Amino acid sequence: MGKRQFLMSVIHFLIQNLTRTEFVGMEHIPSSGGVLIATNHLSRLDIPVLFDLPCRRDINGLIATKYKKYILIAPLAWMAEAIWIDRDTADFGAFRTAIDALKKGTALGISPEGTRSTTGKLLPGKSGVVFLALRSGVPIVPVGLTGTENGVRELVNLRRPHIVATFGPAFTIPEIGRENREAEMQYWTDEVMCRIAVLMPESYRGYYKDHPRVKELLAEGAGKVR
């Protein structure tokens, strides 16, 4: 058994036995081929939860280089073969590695917010996810995570946190021309974030709570709030 397979087995055991985790809407995730799994980011539990995704055992993710200094996290990221990214710069090396992985058919988890929310609410999204989708030509599947924000505290108190990962329909981003490129990138970044927002209760939507696109998606019946 390789190091990645061993880590996945350990994580699966821990998620199954220490948490009450539900995966909702997995039918929206392509069974094969490159795909971006775009998620909100509430806790360090988010990555292990998505790493245990039953329908895509090939899932990988981007992780900030600052975690190389964390004694517990760095070895796990190495075992998972995660892609290191410097979030303080335009890390084109990490983007190239991610694009290559996507083109080879990998499922790649990414947080468009670029950092962990300390309030449990959505932060403004960044355009990295749109850039990767355009360069790789793969679809995006939005996912709303709930319950991880208090997960560590509940585990410390010997309670099993109830975690729900709700996946929405996959969608692709059309080619963007040079004219009004910045505005178009922002439009699609907001689209990704709004599609994540509707997959969670209103209390999680934060920056996008009153966004017109969220209201449109909800009126269309998008999302499945638990």
Q: In angstroms, how far is the first alpha carbon of the chain from the final one? A: 37
Output the pTM of the full model: 0.93
What pLDDT is stored for residue 223 in this prediction? 60
Q: What are phi and psi of 101, to 5 degrees?
A: -65, -45
Closest CA to 21 of 164, 122, 215: 164
Fold classified for 21-219: Glycerol-3-phosphate (1)-acyltransferase (3.40.1130)
Q: Average pLDDT across each block of 10 residues of the chain; the chain has 226 residues. List them in order.
A: 88 95 96 96 93 92 87 87 84 91 96 92 95 96 96 92 97 90 95 97 96 94 61
The answer to whether the CB of 127 falls within 8 A of the CB of 114 is: no
Spell out the SS3 assignment of the chain: CCHHHHHHHHHHHHHHHHCEEEEECHHHCCCCCCEEEEECCCCCCHHHHHHCCCCCCCCEEEEEHHHHHCCCHHHHHHHHCCEEECCCCCCHHHHHHHHHHHHCCCEEEECCCCCCCCCCCCCCCCCHHHHHHHHHCCCEEEEEEECCCCHHHHHHCCCCCEEEEEECCCECCCCCCCCCHHHHHHHHHHHHHHHHHCCCCHHHCHHHCCCHHHHHHHHCCCCCCC
Task: Classify 221 in phi/psi space as left (phi over 0), alpha (psi -120 to 50) or beta.
Answer: left
What pLDDT is stored for residue 179 in this prediction? 85
Domain boundaries, the chain: 21-219
What pLDDT is stored for residue 17 in this prediction? 95
What pLDDT is stored for residue 226 in this prediction? 47
What pLDDT is stored for residue 170 in this prediction? 97
What pLDDT is stored for residue 202 in this prediction? 95
What pLDDT is stored for residue 22 in this prediction? 96
